[in-house]
A and B are shown apart, each in its own frame.
Chain A
């Protein structure tokens, strides 16, 4: 329990640090470019939104301390002001809420898939030590993890989109269709998700495989595994119930953490596929110097990571009693 409380304290502290960073970043930048951007679009903003952004970016005559407190207050009441240029005048909360499901669907599902597949391959690879899979695996996946995913995305677009014309590679669905819960629309969405999902899968799966394999190899050398072998238990059972069950811990905590990176984890993939999620929105905001939207998205991405880390800590504490006393 004490462990969980400590982690909760750390969560609050990092949240505060993230807020403070978000507050001071625009002020620390040469010339505070956000000021000019907001000044240029003053006309398009509602008085409420303007008030929120004045506190965040330091416009007007309030001193910095009261700006800071009204900023923190605004964040906790989920007031982020409105977009300047990306969707002028629309409230940021609205824009972000529209983007989140797309990212969760695409990146979230792919992350789960990559974890399951990668962990499975890692287990089998380590079990058949010295086999064909195991000898090819490490170098191949070491190299696969360094492929910049945006580049792989471009190559997949070139091969399967432009040349072979097998799959669509622009937008999250055919924009001539009206969104509906019909089989044809859902099919269309899935079709558009194949290339970006595959890009993400290829570039992330290597990490899961190597982590699992390496921990599994260490675990296979433990005495209790030898004991299980000596008892003559079937290989499958030793592999899954004895070795993998213990070796999977680092992968599980890694998985909990990677769920936090779902929100901001595929920024450039969404960009090159024009996929209307959070990452695409972030780069839109960056390109349009829409600083209020950009800062709000950065905060969202950070908070997602913090929440995931909190969960991962609690999960580890439940699954692995040894960690409870540590740190």
Chain B
């Protein structure tokens, strides 16, 4: 799949659009660019769709008991029942309520998405920015680690590690995915920080006698907000796809209720042959919808950073068929 490694081609071109173009010259505070981003989300249709979807899943993940009252793991109902008012999606071959499983399965996926998305972004920022800022030996060493990790195929490595761990729970999943997939972002951030290194506002901070840590955290990182947001969204998306895939092939903890695990049990019970189509369709659709939420937001931010990519609909009235 396209998500096999963070070094897939599709991720590469997003970078130049966002990097220098989207980031205004240094000195913009984080709060201001955050406000700009909120405005951007409401004005871009793709961003709005993504944000609404994501918000929906967050609400479901936060309050599953309001929506589904059944215990998702209890094997207490009739087996393989069809959809009915009592069981909106029917029951599994073990007699569990499938709707409850889908609803309760939202939480671990979101935890993994947000955990790994934040984790990778933080590690990548620390390592990427330190490499660029410290320069010299440290830049060489850290840069090399980044590049080496970047080319080791991530998904096969996850499979190998997963096979030794025997049933990775949510926490382990976050840890392993984070450790493996921070390198691409680190490389982007390093490049961005390198381009800032000789700017005046950093020189000013140095002359003022600020410590390196202060300069990195207060002066450099806020100028990268849009890049950090893009990194979070991309890594969260990959975490969703990676963890679901691992769970599907049986390398997750099979007793955690989540969409990937549902698919694992569905396939193990040959849900197709027994006509339990919903057992496979619904969890997969949820993965697609959550993934689409992250991807749409990311693509929209890319459009915001690189105006050339925006739909040209609005310009049609003014100029001829092909606006130039």
Interface residues of A (CB under 8 A from B): 10, 13-14, 17-18, 21, 25-26, 29-30, 33-34, 128-130, 134-135, 138-139, 142-143, 145-151, 154-155, 157-158, 162, 200, 203-204, 206-208, 210-211, 214-215, 217-218, 221, 226, 229, 250-251, 253-255, 257-258, 261, 264-269, 271-272, 282-283, 286-287, 289, 291, 294-295, 297-298, 301-302, 305-306, 309
Instruction: Say whether A146 contacts B295, CB under 8 Å.
Output: yes
Instruction: Say whether A130 contacts B159, CB under 8 Å.
Output: no
| Chain A at the B interface: SS class | helix
Bound-state Cα–Cα, A204 to B163, Å: 26
Cβ distance A123 to chain B, nearest Cβ, rounded Å: 15
Instruction: Say whether B296 contacts A139, CB under 8 Å.
Output: yes
What residues of B have a CB within 8 angstroms of the CB of A266 in the complex? 1
Instruction: Say whether A149 contacts B156, CB under 8 Å.
Output: no
Q: Of A138, A203, A254, A309, which is within 8 A of B299 by CB? A: A138
Question: Please, could you name 15 A-B residue pairs with CB atoms under 8 Å apart, sorted by A?
Answer: A146-B241, A146-B288, A146-B292, A148-B3, A148-B284, A154-B280, A157-B272, A158-B280, A203-B1, A206-B2, A208-B9, A217-B308, A258-B9, A268-B249, A289-B163
Provided the pairs A155-B281, A286-B159, A295-B160 are in contact, do residues A18 and B296 lie with their beta carbons within 8 angstroms? no
Cβ distance B166 to chain A, nearest Cβ, rounded Å: 8
Bound-state Cα–Cα, A28 to B46, Å: 44
Instruction: Say whether A286 contacts B251, CB under 8 Å.
Output: yes
Complex interface bits, B155-169 against A, C-beta within 8 A gives 1, otherwise 0: 111011111111000
Instruction: Say whether B13 contacts A211, CB under 8 Å.
Output: yes
Instruction: Say whether A302 contacts B156, CB under 8 Å.
Output: yes
Cβ distance A60 to chain B, nearest Cβ, rounded Å: 21
Q: Of B4, B241, B288, which is within 8 A of A265 by CB? A: B4
Instruction: Say whether A25 contacts B292, CB under 8 Å.
Output: no
Bound-state Cα–Cα, A207 to B4, Å: 13
Instruction: Say whether A142 contacts B164, CB under 8 Å.
Output: no
What residues of B have a CB within 8 angstroms of the CB of A151 in the complex? 248, 263, 280, 284, 287-288
What residues of B have a CB within 8 angstroms of the CB of A309 in the complex? 151
> How many residues in B have their beta carbons less than 8 Å from beta carbons of A?
67
What residues of B have a CB within 8 angstroms of the CB of A157 in the complex? 272
Instruction: Say whether B152 contacts A294, CB under 8 Å.
Output: no
> Which listed segment binds A: B58-66, B82-90, B93-101, B316-324?
B316-324
Which residue on B lies nearest to A28, using beta carbons?
B164
Bound-state Cα–Cα, A10 to B296, Å: 35
B12 at interface, CB cutoff 8 A: yes
Cβ distance B195 to chain A, nearest Cβ, rounded Å: 13
What residues of B have a CB within 8 angstroms of the CB of A289 in the complex? 163
Instruction: Say whether A261 contacts B153, CB under 8 Å.
Output: yes
